[in-house]
Structure 1
C-alpha cells in the first residue's frame, strides 16, 4: 500500500485482449468482486469509453447494507488501462483501475485504487487507512484470482 491507495498484481496465462474483455465489462464485476456484486452502464453508455458512466451495487466488506455507487470511466486504453472514478460528477471519492502488461505467454494484471487527496479523505486514511487498505488488498486479490480462473479455463 502506498500513500492514499494501494495495488495488487497477478500473472494470468491469457492474452491482454482476453483479460481486457473482463476488466472493461463492468456488467461482469459481480462474478469477481467480493464487494461489488453487480454493475450496469447508465446515462446511455453501453461499453467502456472515457466519460462512460455506470453504477456499481456495493456491499462493503461483503456485509451490511448495500448502496449504488456512481462511476465514470476516466482512462480507457484498449488492452492496456481501464480506470474509473467513484463518486458524483466532478467530486470523486476514489479511483479504481486495471493495468495490463504483456509478459511472456500472458499478462500481468494490476488492480489499484487511490483516494482523492481531499483533506477529509486524508483524515479518514490517517485513522482507518491501514484497515481499509488491507480489506481492499484482500478484495483485489480475490477479484484477480477469480478473473484468472475464467481467462485461463
Structure 2
C-alpha cells in the first residue's frame, strides 16, 4: 500500500530577495536559530564541531509550541552542500526521530528557500503521525513559515514592528 511508504512530513517555501550564499550562511549557522524559530530558542555546536559539515553535531534548546517543558535535543548534520541544502537529524546519532532541512535555489534574482521535516518511518512514528499528524503537521508548517519569514526579514533588511 502506498501510504506505508509515503513520507511523514511537510514543507514550506518562501522567496527571499537575497543571494543564495547569504541564505546558506544564515540557515547553516545553527547558533542563530533562536532569532528565528518559535520553538528552538538556542543551539550550540557540540563534540568539537564548529560549523556545518556532514556528521557535525549540535544540540538545540527547545520549548514545544512555546509552552511546556524546556529540553535539549541532540542533532547531527546529515546533508551539507553549500548554497543548496542543509539538513540534520534530531535524536541520537544514527537513529534520528525526525529530520529537518533547508533547500535553496536561485530564483528571480533571489533565492527560493524550502524548509522541510520528515519523521523517521518507524512503526511508532507512523502511529504518532496517524493520531497526531494533521495537528502536528499544521503546527510545524506554521513554525516553518514563521522561521522563514523572520529569516527573510533579516536578509532583506526589513525590521519587524
The alignment's C-alpha RMSD in Å is: 0.7
TM superposition score normalised by structure 2: 0.93
Q: Structure 1 residue 113 and structure 2 residue 113: aligned?
A: no
Counterpart residue number, 1:138: 142
Counterpart mapping for 1:1-150 below 5 A:
3-150=7-154
TM superposition score normalised by structure 1: 0.98
Q: C-alpha distance in 2, partners of 1:6/1:116?
A: 13
Contact 2:86 2:101 in 1 (8 A): yes
| Bigger Rg, structure 1 or 2 | 2
Counterpart residue number, 2:3: none
The count of aligned residue pairs is 152
List structure 1 runs of 4+ shifted beyond 2 angstroms. Answer: none
**3-state DSSP class of the match of 2:91?**
strand
The answer for unaligned runs of 5 or more in structure 2 is 1-5
Q: Offset at 1:70? A: 0.2
